[in-house]
Amino acid sequence: MPVITTNTAANSAVRYLNINSSDQSSSLSKIASGSRITKASDDAAGLAISTRISSDVVALEQAATNASHATAMLQTADGAASNISDILMRMKALATQASSATVTDTERSYINAEFTNLAEEITSVATGARYNNVSLLDGTGSFGAVMVGSNSSDTISLSFTDLDATALSLNATTISDQTTATAALTAITSAIGSVSAARASLGAQQSRFEFQADTIATSIENLSAANSAIEDVDVASEQAKLSSAEVKVQAAVAALASANQMPQALLKLLQ
Regarding whether 51 and 14 lie in a shared domain, the answer is: no
pTM given for the model: 0.76
In a domain, 3, yes or no: no
Quote the CA–CA distance of 173 and 19 in Å, as a whole number: 91
- Residue 74: pLDDT band (50, 70, 90) is very high
| CATH (domain of 152) | 1.20.1330.10
In a domain, 195, yes or no: yes
DSSP H/E element including 147: strand 145-147
Q: Judge whether 117 and 162 are in contact, CB under 8 Å.
A: no
DSSP class of 35: B
Q: Beta 155-157 vs 145-147: how paired, if at all?
A: antiparallel
Q: Judge whether 160 and 141 are in contact, CB under 8 Å.
A: yes
pLDDT at 3 over 80: no
In a domain, 39, yes or no: no
pLDDT score at 271: 64
Beta-carbon contacts of 3 under 8 Å, excluding residues fewer than 6 positions away, are 266
In a domain, 1, yes or no: no
What are the pLDDT digits (tens) for 168-193?
Answer: 998 767 788 888 889 999 999 999 99
Regarding whether 196 and 63 lie in a shared domain, the answer is: yes
Regarding whether 182 and 63 lie in a shared domain, the answer is: yes
What are the pLDDT digits (tens) for 104-159?
Answer: 889 989 999 999 999 999 999 999 999 988 899 988 877 889 999 888 889 999 99
Regarding whether 201 and 250 lie in a shared domain, the answer is: no
Q: Which domain holds residue 163?
A: 44-231
DSSP 224-243: HHHHHHHHB--HHHHHHHHH
CA 212 to chain centre: 11
Regarding whether 213 and 134 lie in a shared domain, the answer is: yes
Domain count within the chain: 2
Regarding whether 245 and 224 lie in a shared domain, the answer is: no
Regarding whether 219 and 125 lie in a shared domain, the answer is: yes
For the chain, the 3-state helix, strand and coil shares in percent, each to the nearest 5, are 75, 5, 25
Regarding whether 266 and 171 lie in a shared domain, the answer is: no
Regarding whether 102 and 207 lie in a shared domain, the answer is: yes
Regarding whether 140 and 223 lie in a shared domain, the answer is: yes
